[in-house]
Amino acid sequence: MATNPSTYIRMQALASLQQQFFEQMGNGGGLSSSLVESLLMPHKPTQREVSAKALTGRIRADAGMLSQASLNAAEGESISQISFDATKFIADSLGKMKTIAQSVSDGSAPITGELQTSYNNLAQGIANRITSASYNGISLLNRPGWTNDQRLSIAPDQKTATLSLQMGNASQTLTLRDLSSMNADVSAASIASQADATSAVVGLSALIRNVEGLRDGYKAQASGYASEAASLSRQSDILSTAAKRAEGTERLPSALLLDMLMSGQGSIFRGES
């Protein structure tokens, strides 16, 4: 197990204090405050800086690791947010298609070329959004776009793919879901006749439920990654600040330093010269 930096400093200072204490006492001298100050502030600042950096190297390394983990979590948030926006658009478009199909089914709207065009445009918009939703070249909803993307692990059923996000010493898996197969169901939801429109309402209702479930999941996932990114960033800042202070040149009062070093080790009495 690695020695805590503050414990290591204390042990080294104690050893030096004890040696010099007995040397001075043996010569009839006392323990002066300048002795303690010299231990805290060596005569060669560069040596002190090297020593401090060695002691705080692990802290700085952990700060860097947490900073990178925060960036990775932010990427997870971006992917989830784009997926949320896309699935929200798709769910809304399906809802508009259902409204049109319902109006044809109940006879409140005649089947016209203009109505059919509006319906078809909504279906095409869904197909376009499935194809275009991406992050950094990663296709988020379209299975054909996953082919040959080495960053993804595609499930045997081809319905999902996973992306690994490194989070410090561990990794998290973000799951992508294919919606390209939904295009066939959308196309099949015809309003060519009143009977077709009635069937379309049923099919579109099922699709809406599925997509809304994905939409809500991506929203919660984006929020979770955002919180994690902020937390990791704060932790990184705390460690970075701790390292900088440990490597600083501030001088502690001698009495306070003695108190800290000798805590739990008994007392040192100043000798009389």
Which pLDDT score is estimated for 241?
Answer: 84
Q: Which residues of the chain form beta strands (DSSP E)?
A: 134-135, 138-139, 152-154, 160-167, 170-177
Q: Decide: residue 207, CB within 10 A, 0-12 exposed, 13-18 middle, 19+ buried.
A: buried
Q: Which of 79, 186, 177 is nearest to 128 (CA)?
A: 186
Which pLDDT score is estimated for 51?
Answer: 60
Q: Binning pLDDT at 50, 70 and 90, where does residue 249 land?
A: very low
Which pLDDT score is estimated for 62?
Answer: 86
pLDDT surpasses 70 at 171: yes
Which pLDDT score is estimated for 1?
Answer: 45
CA distance 200 to 185: 9
pLDDT surpasses 60 at 176: yes
Within 8 A by CB and 6+ apart from 150, the residues are none
pLDDT surpasses 60 at 11: no
CA distances from 9 to 3, 42, 147, 248, 261 (A): 10, 13, 55, 15, 9
* pTM of structure: 0.71
Joined together, the tokens standing for residue 84 give: 């949320």
Which pLDDT score is estimated for 273?
Answer: 35
CA distance 105 to 87: 26
Q: Which of 85, 128, 102 is nearest to 205 (CA)?
A: 102
Per-residue pLDDT reduced to its tens digit, 100-135: 999 999 999 999 999 999 999 999 999 999 999 999
Q: Binning pLDDT at 50, 70 and 90, where does residue 59 land?
A: confident
Q: Which of 87, 89, 91, 97 is nearest to 190 (CA)?
A: 97
